[in-house]
Amino acid sequence: MDWHLLGLSFITVFLSELGDKSQLATIALGGSSRSPRAVFLGTATALLLASVLGVLAGQGAAQLLPTRLVKTIAALGFAVLSLRLLWPKPNSALEFDQGNQGNMPAVDDRKQ
Amino acid sequence: MPVSVPLIPVESAPLAELATANQDLELPVAIPVAISQIATPQGDRYPLVLQVFCSSFVTIFLAELGDKTQVTTLLMSAESQSPWVVFAGAGSALVLTSLLGVLLGQWLSTRLAPRTLEVAAGLSLLLVSVLLVWDIIQS
């Protein structure tokens, strides 16, 4: 085990990711969601998968990705999530709507 | 995946009891219970946990593809002879930053009023969206 390389990659990625847009998104999703555990699992899995793809691409096993298209879709996704939060519908069944109308028990795994 | 069915029969149990049973379970087990909640009188509800997982996963994954962290991982694993050591380092760093993010969000949610938090979270996501568009224009 190459501990030096392990530490180097950990510190590099940790520092570049701290305060980056995906962490900002994670803070926003984790704070406004009823199931922060699902947000954590979702974001962690996504980041791990992206990093696996990075490793595979580094080994020459993957092709270049259509980055612009993919980022456009991501931007649209975040815009939709954002609009849901800013203009929640009164009887919305959406998760990112804090106003549960009382006709549905919340699946709330938040530790109080 | 081990699936444990709640002891309360789904048809006869009040939804509140199901939700209580749901809270004590770990997430992979909780999903089948959440799916049983689709059959509300409204009949239009997706399992909440699954919905949150999927929307977080898809947006973060797409945003992170081709981002600087992934490029760093790519370059480091290409340069070194042991790409999986790079993955272990990068992966643990990513899990830690997302854990810190969720914990910080949760801490904020105990400090702010729900509506304030929603607006702040909405604006943050809008900012992330704008940053992504900026990346697209720059590239």
Per-residue pLDDT at A74: 85
Considering the domain architecture, whether residues B108 and B60 belong to the same structural domain is answered as no
Considering the domain architecture, whether residues B55 and B108 belong to the same structural domain is answered as no
Confidence of residue A92 (pLDDT cuts 50, 70, 90): very low
**Does B89 map to a domain?**
yes
Considering the domain architecture, whether residues B26 and B59 belong to the same structural domain is answered as yes
Any A CB within 8 A of B76 CB: yes
CB contact under 8 A, A59 and B78: yes
The SS3 assignment for A81 reads helix
> For residue B43, what is the nearest residue in chain A, using CA coordinates?
A93
**Does B92 map to a domain?**
yes
The phi, psi pair for B89, rounded to 5°, reads: -65, -50
**Which chain A positions have a beta carbon within 8 Å of B85's beta carbon?**
1-2, 5-6, 9
**Which chain A positions have a beta carbon within 8 Å of B114's beta carbon?**
98
The string over A62-84, giving b where at least 16 C-beta atoms fall within 10 Å of a residue's C-beta and e elsewhere, is: eeeeebeebbebbbebbbebbeb
> For residue B15, what is the nearest residue in chain A, using CA coordinates?
A105
**Does B58 map to a domain?**
yes
Considering the domain architecture, whether residues B103 and B134 belong to the same structural domain is answered as yes
CB contact under 8 A, A50 and B127: no
Considering the domain architecture, whether residues B53 and B95 belong to the same structural domain is answered as no
Asked whether this complex has an ipTM greater than 0.85, the answer is: no
**Residue at a domain's end among B40, B65, B90:** B65
Confidence of residue B28 (pLDDT cuts 50, 70, 90): very low
Considering the domain architecture, whether residues B13 and B53 belong to the same structural domain is answered as yes
Tens digits of per-residue pLDDT, B39-68?
444 444 567 888 899 999 999 998 888 788
Considering the domain architecture, whether residues B88 and B57 belong to the same structural domain is answered as no
pTM exceeds 0.95: no
CB contact under 8 A, A31 and B136: no
- Total domains, chain B: 2
- The whole domain housing B29 covers 1-65
